[in-house]
Amino acid sequence: MGVMKCPSCRSTLTVRESIGTESLVCPGCEAWVGIASAAPRLIAGTRPRAARTPSTTPLALGAKGVLRGKTLEVTGILQRAEGSYTWFECAVADEKGDITWLWVDRGHFSWSVCEGKQCVRTVPGGEFQYGNETLKLFGIGKARQVWASGSFPFELDPSERSRIEDYIAPPFTASREGGVWWVFEYIPVEEIEDAFGVSCPEPVGIGMNQPSTYRRQRMAIGQVTVLALVALMLIHLFVGGDARQAPLLDSNVELRRPSGDPPQSLPGFALHKAWTAIEVDIRAPVSNAWADLNLAFVHAETGKSYWTSQGVEYYSGQDTDGGWTEGSPDRSVLIRSLPAGTYSVLASGGTGGWAGGTTPQYAQLQVYEKPAPATNLLLAFGIVLGLAGIFVWTGYRFEARRWEYSDYGPRE
């Protein structure tokens, strides 16, 4: 360690040569002092720097911790800005005195994993790649140094206006400055807090190189979704696929019986599953007319009666827009979940017409067993696909929030 006097306030400056210090900030007056030459040189005076002191820094100068197996100490903190947008670059020294950089953007930490002209390569087509990851342009700007504290292995320069190009391939950001690439890898703030034993402010928004949890999971989500759909389909085919094609009941119901007559007794049927949905199909040759049926399914063992009213109606005519029709002469209704047992069926019907319509004598009634209606399967499909859709949407929103801070986003 060397000792010097601050050329501005004459305070004692301690210089750590082991970390290659070329400039430092006077702890007494905050003057920027260059020490590359034999005598200390004043780079910038006190007031402009002090006036821009940030209210908080991501880590305290001198903070020590172990991050990803490296014992580190914060030796310098530099705040840079482009317009009103600011970020921090923290110099952290390991036990050998080698400096690594922590870049802190809106509370999101990244640390340098590569520095040099060869870190990033250009591939045919003009794109840049780091490792196997293709980098996307995120931002271009000119950075200036606005505040500093501690020691730095280069000379601070308040007049600097460096052009910086930022490219991303989460969790990496590659910044090109002065022809040199700096590649940073995202570090979750919780890891920084554990490493340095500090409490950091909550990061703002989505970090430009923050890994997407959605991107990491999308392949697995796709696999689970496809598997679930296949499993549901197979279950529906093999467990619910024994519906009989022949109707349980196929009969005609009289529609013009005198009002005092008792209802018609139709052939009964038996249901064998614990619960069975039935499909009731009604057909009647109505034309500008309606036909209604009242049906009662009477359980032989329990005496319980399940009844329903269904009907068909069909109207047609001509108006100034041409021909029109309404309704249909046939109708299919799903009645759900009758318990197992033998059923007798009672039916009564009625019909009526409009504007000379044709009222039928009979309505055809067919009842089918539907133990596993397709709507069960469709509902399950809908839930599985709906969840996958929510995942895709939230993943899309994550990326949209990331690119809010860029002029080069996919939608620009």
Partner 1 sequence: MKFLRSLRRRPFVSLQALVSALLVALLAAADYYGFAVFGEDPEQQQSTSQSHLYRQFHK
Residue ranges in contact with partner 1 by CB under 8 A: 213-214, 216-217, 220-221, 224-225, 227-228, 231-232, 235-236, 239-240, 262-263, 265, 271, 273-277, 294-298, 303-308, 333-338, 346-348, 370-373, 375-377, 379-380, 383-384, 387-388, 391
Is the CB of 79 or the CB of 348 nearer to partner 1? 348
> Which structure tokens are listed for 322?
């041409």
SS3 391: helix
> How many angstroms separate the CA atoms of 351 and 344, rounded?
24
Half-sphere exposure of 115 (CA within 13 A, CB side): 9
User: Smallest distance from the beta carbon of 401 to partner 1, in angstroms?
Assistant: 17
> Which structure tokens are listed for 236?
């529906």
User: Smallest distance from the beta carbon of 253 to partner 1, in angstroms?
Assistant: 12
CB atoms within 10 A of CB 278: 25
> How many angstroms separate the CA atoms of 150 and 75, rounded?
6
Please, is 6 exposed, middle or buried when counting C-beta atoms within 10 Å of its C-beta (0-12, 13-18, 19+)? buried
Is the CB of 153 or the CB of 240 nearer to partner 1? 240
> How many angstroms separate the CA atoms of 380 and 372, rounded?
13
Is the CB of 166 or the CB of 369 nearer to partner 1? 369
Closest CA to 360 of 249, 259, 253, 250: 253
Is the CB of 35 or the CB of 345 nearer to partner 1? 345
User: Smallest distance from the beta carbon of 361 to partner 1, in angstroms?
Assistant: 20
> Which structure tokens are listed for 296?
């009662």
User: Smallest distance from the beta carbon of 258 to partner 1, in angstroms?
Assistant: 12
Is the CB of 48 or the CB of 241 nearer to partner 1? 241
User: Smallest distance from the beta carbon of 68 to partner 1, in angstroms?
Assistant: 18
112's CB contacts (< 8 A; 6+ apart) are: 100, 101, 102, 103, 182, 183, 184
Is the CB of 146 or the CB of 229 nearer to partner 1? 229
CA distances from 229 to 216, 220, 224, 378, 381 (A): 22, 14, 9, 10, 6
Question: What residues form DSSP beta bridges with 32?
Answer: 25, 44
Is the CB of 182 or the CB of 297 nearer to partner 1? 297
User: Smallest distance from the beta carbon of 355 to partner 1, in angstroms?
Assistant: 31
User: Smallest distance from the beta carbon of 108 to partner 1, in angstroms?
Assistant: 20
Residue by residue, DSSP assigns 287-350 as: EEEEEEEEEEEEETTT--EEEEEEEEEEEEEEETTEEEEEEESEEEEEEEEEEEEEEEEEEEEE
Is the CB of 153 or the CB of 211 nearer to partner 1? 211
Is the CB of 56 or the CB of 245 nearer to partner 1? 245
> Which structure tokens are listed for 357?
């319509």
User: Smallest distance from the beta carbon of 274 to partner 1, in angstroms?
Assistant: 5
User: Smallest distance from the beta carbon of 337 to partner 1, in angstroms?
Assistant: 6
